[in-house]
Every structure is written in C-alpha cells, then in structure tokens.
Homo-oligomer: A and B are copies of this chain.
Amino acid sequence: MTLDYHDQGHWANNFGQAQSPVHLTGTPAGTTALTLTAPYRITQVAADDTTLRLFGTGAMRLDGRAFQFVQAHVHAPVEHQLDAAFDLELHLVHEDALGQPCVVAILLPVGPADPALAAAMATWRPGAATPLSLDLTPFFPHTATMYRYRGSLTTPPLTEGVTWCVLAQTEHTVSAAQVTWCTAHFGANARAIQPLNARPVLCAQLDLQSTL
C-alpha cells in the first residue's frame, strides 16, 4: 500500500459499507442490559411531512454506555427485516456525550391500537410544531429479543457509526388503522435493505432495568 500525503484531496472516501437498515437473524445468547435513567417525556410533535416525529427528553444506559434521548419517529412499513413480520418501527434516537448516535428501534406487530401513538397522531398538524405532553417511558418492553449492530442513519445524510439496538417484541402493538394513518400521511417511509457485509450482529434477550 502506498499513500500519497501530497495528494490528500483525492483520497478515496469509501463510506457506505456499514449502512442501515439490514436483515437481522440470530438466536438470543444471554442478556444485555438497557437501563432507563431519565423518563422519556415528549413535549412536541414536529412539523414534519416525512414521519411522525416527537421531541422531548430522556436518557438510558445501553450495556454500560450513557445516552441522551434526542427524538423519536416512526417508519411504516418497517425498515429492519426479521424472520418474524412486524408492521411499524419506532426509532428512539439518542446521542452519547461525544455526539455518537444510538437508535433504539422498537418493532410493533399489528394488534390493538397503541394509545401513545394515538395521542401523537391526533396532535400532529401539517406544517406546524404542536405541543404534546406524553410519557414514552412505558414504551420500552419488558421482554424482547435485542439485535445490536453498527450501522447508519436510514435517512440522509445516512451518517455511519450508529449503534443500533433493534427490539423485536409483542407487548406493544399498533392497529392496522394506525399503520394506514402513517402511510396515508407520510407515504411508505422505509429505506431499502442494505448489505450487511462483514458486520457482526449480537443477539440477546433484553434485560430492561431502571433507576427511575
């Protein structure tokens, strides 16, 4: 390998080999702790015509690493593909103290309507940010299969270095009408599946803990 330090402007910048979403497989081995350290208090539904986006505060530790909640939003149909079928994907976007992102993705199957999503949908207005007081803390399931891998944001700028924590669970459900509400307002907002390449996927049972 030869590297020309006089020609740095032409160095290849080969991003794009660790993108999201991906197809996830695996059998749970052991448990991984996700510890809620501050309540997930939603205060605003964003003026956003690509997704139902919620702003607020919250915090958690994932496998010992501290993250602050930044925003939540939904994708319908789901972005991450598993062998089991899910119908809506809630993304809880976090950042650590250096600004490194972690997205907790909660996959929801169709069933009874979810009351928290119902409140957010009823509050959403096109083109106007709207106040909403909603506690999302109970949205973290007590039982789930957790898939962790490194990937990217699924919308531009598609930034890599994201710690993904995808939770396959059945405690929370979304109604078919709620899924239809999302696709009617935002279109089908799922990015296509990306190649996993050589990335490891860690599969474990969620060990939900709380200091609240």
Contacts and interface: CB of A to CB of B under 8 A. Distances in A.
B200 A98 contact: yes
Contacts of A71: none
A207 B157 CA distance: 36
Contact of A65 (B3, B65, B150): B65
A190 B5 CA distance: 7
Contacts of A161: 100, 150, 159-162
Contacts of A5: 187-191
Given A99-B200, A100-B161, A160-B160, A192 B13 contact: no
A190 B160 CA distance: 24
A211 interface: no
Given A64-B65, A187-B5, A189-B3, A98 B14 contact: no
A17 B192 CA distance: 24
22 contacts: A1-B49, A1-B50, A2-B50, A3-B156, A3-B189, A5-B187, A5-B190, A5-B191, A8-B191, A8-B192, A13-B16, A14-B156, A15-B15, A15-B159, A17-B157, A18-B159, A98-B149, A99-B199, A150-B161, A159-B161, A160-B161, A161-B162
Interface residues of A, number: 43
Nearest to A100: B150
**For chain A, what secondary structure do more than half of its interface residues adopt (helix, strand, loop), or is it mixed?**
loop
Q: Which 10 residue pairs of A and B lie closest in terms of their CB atoms, listed nearest first? A: A161-B161, A14-B157, A15-B15, A3-B50, A98-B150, A64-B64, A11-B156, A12-B156, A13-B158, A100-B150
